């Protein structure tokens, strides 16, 4: 069972089983005693292991109940999954909703690959589980997931027969009509993947629950959940690898083999399981080295000769070359910029992205939109970098505060496109406004007052005046912050060199 995915099944989601099993008290007792079923409160977040879920499903099948997971999926509250149903139906069209679900599938569907394809004028939605040779109990779980997916589409377009038919990977059922009745359409068993044939004409039909403001707010919340939760269950192994890397005494302990041995896995098994979580050992190691180097060299001022062996580099020259690739500048330059930034305020949490907008004065007014744009652009691009993890601290504690901030009436929508759109990400004006936000936070209202006193100037002149008065410009501050977050060095280098034709209004 070691190669099976880590399912996220909470006991509170299984409470309808008690009503379903009321005619089968013996079976209910077996599930409780052997597989961990338990009556719990609605706020109880305890989860069952994959082994328990698989065993419970196979026990139900042995007692003539093959489609209980699909039955449970039809009874799940709409708020399950951090509001994913609300988010999907708030999109303008079904095409838009499916695009969002496909784009964010690594978050809500980490153990499978979801795809949408048009073939011969017909539209197919498919789900390919990552696990090889899954046991029957796991196929039953995925059958329930597929029934839930159909329910999600029906939430988007209530009253419409969104799908024409469905296929599932579970073998021929002793009660085939039961699943067809639950899903409300013909079902084929024993397929090579889970599949739904959709009605193409519905793709561009307006959704009755379309709500741009709700979609924007929920979109940002999903971004925050994806980026800032400390250790989501689906990332458990990745978190273990990061912990092992942090505990390594020397660079020789940073290889795949010593880490796999410490975690009780073979190197091949560790590599496969990390791939199932959407990452790789090399990317995790790179993120560890980059974060540790920034902390040790830039923030603490440790000598390159001392930190290089701890990161697995032969010496200071090799680490310097890696640092230039990470940050688009030499480590000594970043150290000097950090000391100038520290002299302005010395805040220990200067790099926490959720604190930047929350501490700006409310009377900032229209500039909040520009800063929100900057924050969204920089955060999304920064965390999409090959360095897959931001090493800033305090992010989990700020999640609730960030949600509150996102719900404020004065919050402007985040006008950021998908990560695959470089034109929307590489906005130097937005990143410069992000640096101005950091200076505002460290200097306070005096920064805005100083800006108001400056005559009209060209962009290079304004940056030079900022450097002369504060020690560094908003571009310097933004580049330092984005380097801390893991933005690729090539983009940081381009950002530093790119001329910005008009100043970004920061204070009016």
User: Which of 129-143, 312-326, 446-460 is the least confident region?
Assistant: 446-460
pLDDT at 379: 46
pTM: 0.51
How many Cβ atoms sit within 10 Å of the Cβ of residue 30?
Answer: 18
pLDDT tens, 67-87? 999 999 887 665 555 567 878
φ, ψ dihedrals at 473, nearest 5°: -95, 175
403 Rama sector, left if φ>0, alpha if ψ -120 to 50, beta otherwise: alpha
Per residue in 168-193, pLDDT (tens digit) is 999 998 888 899 999 999 999 999 99
Confidence (pLDDT) at 248: 74
What pLDDT is attached to residue 353? 56
Of 83-92, 374-383, 481-490, which gets the smallest average pLDDT? 374-383
**How far, in Å, CA of 506 to CA of 504, rounded?**
6
Structural domains for the chain: 66-210 (no CATH), 214-315 (1.10.10), 343-497 (no CATH)
The per-residue pLDDT for 302 is 92
Residue-averaged pLDDT of the chain: 76
Q: Where are the alpha helices (DSSP H) in 21-157?
A: 25-35, 50-62, 68-73, 80-89, 94-103, 105-108, 136-156
Residues 214-241: tens digit of each pLDDT: 676 566 556 654 544 444 444 467 767 8
Give dist(CA 154, CA 157) in Å, integer. Answer: 5
Least confident of 95-104, 137-146, 226-235, 455-464: 226-235
Instruction: Summarize pLDDT for 195-216 with one digit per residue, the tens.
Output: 999 999 999 889 998 887 667 6
Confidence check: pLDDT of 334 > 90: yes
Helix axis angle, 25-35 to 50-62, nearest 10°: 160
H or E segment and range at residue 198: strand 194-198
**Per-residue pLDDT band at 273 (split at 50, 70, 90):** confident
Burial class of 407 by CB neighbour count within 10 A (0 to 12, 13 to 18, 19+): exposed
The mean per-residue pLDDT over the stretch 159-170 comes to 93
Give mean pLDDT, residues 124-133: 89
């Amino acid at each position: 069972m070691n190669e099976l995915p880590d399912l996220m099944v909470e006991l509170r989601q299984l409470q309808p089983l008690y009503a379903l099993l009321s005619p089968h008290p013996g079976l209910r007792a077996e599930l409780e005693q052997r597989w961990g079923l338990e009556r719990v409160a609605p706020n109880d977040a305890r989860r069952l292991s994959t082994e328990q879920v698989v065993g419970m499903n196979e026990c139900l099948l042995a007692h003539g109940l093959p489609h209980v997971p699909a039955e449970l999926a039809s009874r799940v509250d709409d708020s399950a999954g951090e509001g994913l149903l609300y988010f999907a139906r708030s999109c303008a069209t079904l095409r838009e909703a499916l695009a969002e679900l496909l784009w964010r599938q690594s978050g809500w569907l980490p153990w499978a690959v979801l795809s949408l394809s048009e073939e011969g004028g017909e539209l197919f939605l498919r789900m390919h589980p990552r696990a090889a040779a899954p046991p029957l109990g796991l196929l039953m779980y995925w059958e329930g997931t597929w029934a839930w997916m159909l329910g999600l589409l029906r939430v988007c377009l209530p009253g419409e027969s969104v799908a024409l038919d469905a296929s599932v990977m579970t073998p021929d059922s002793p009660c085939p009509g039961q699943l067809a009745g639950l899903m409300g359409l013909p079902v084929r068993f024993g397929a090579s993947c889970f599949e739904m044939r959709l009605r193409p004409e519905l793709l561009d039909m307006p959704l009755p629950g379309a709500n741009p403001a709700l979609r924007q707010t929920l979109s940002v919340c999903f971004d925050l959940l994806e980026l800032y939760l400390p250790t989501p269950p689906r990332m458990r192994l990745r978190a273990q690898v990061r912990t092992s890397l942090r505990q390594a005494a020397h660079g020789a302990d940073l290889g795949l083999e010593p880490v796999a041995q410490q975690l009780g896995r073979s190197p091949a098994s560790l590599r496969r399981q990390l791939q199932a979580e959407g990452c790789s050992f090399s990317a995790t190691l790179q993120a560890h080295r980059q974060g540790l180097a920034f902390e040790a060299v830039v923030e603490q001022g440790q000598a390159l000769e001392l930190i290089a062996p701890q990161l697995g580099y032969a010496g200071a020259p090799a680490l310097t070359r890696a640092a230039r690739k990470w940050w688009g500048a030499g480590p000594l330059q970043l150290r000097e910029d950090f000391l100038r930034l520290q002299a302005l305020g010395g805040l220990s949490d200067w790099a926490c992205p959720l604190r930047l907008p929350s501490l700006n004065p409310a009377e900032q007014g229209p500039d909040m939109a520009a800063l929100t744009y900057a924050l969204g652009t920089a955060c999304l691009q920064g965390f999409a970098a090959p360095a897959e993890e931001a090493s800033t601290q305090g992010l989990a504690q700020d999640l609730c505060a960030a949600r509150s901030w996102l719900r404020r009436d004065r919050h402007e929508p985040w006008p950021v496109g998908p990560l695959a759109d470089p034109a929307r990400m590489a906005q130097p004006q937005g990143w410069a406004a992000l640096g101005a936000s950091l200076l505002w936070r460290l200097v306070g209202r005096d920064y805005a007052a100083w800006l108001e006193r400056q005559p009209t100037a060209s962009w290079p002149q304004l940056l030079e005046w900022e450097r002369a008065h504060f020690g560094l410009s908003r571009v310097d501050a933004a580049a330092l912050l984005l380097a801390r977050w893991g933005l690729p060095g090539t983009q940081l280098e381009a950002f530093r060199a790119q001329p910005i034709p008009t100043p970004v209004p920061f204070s009016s």
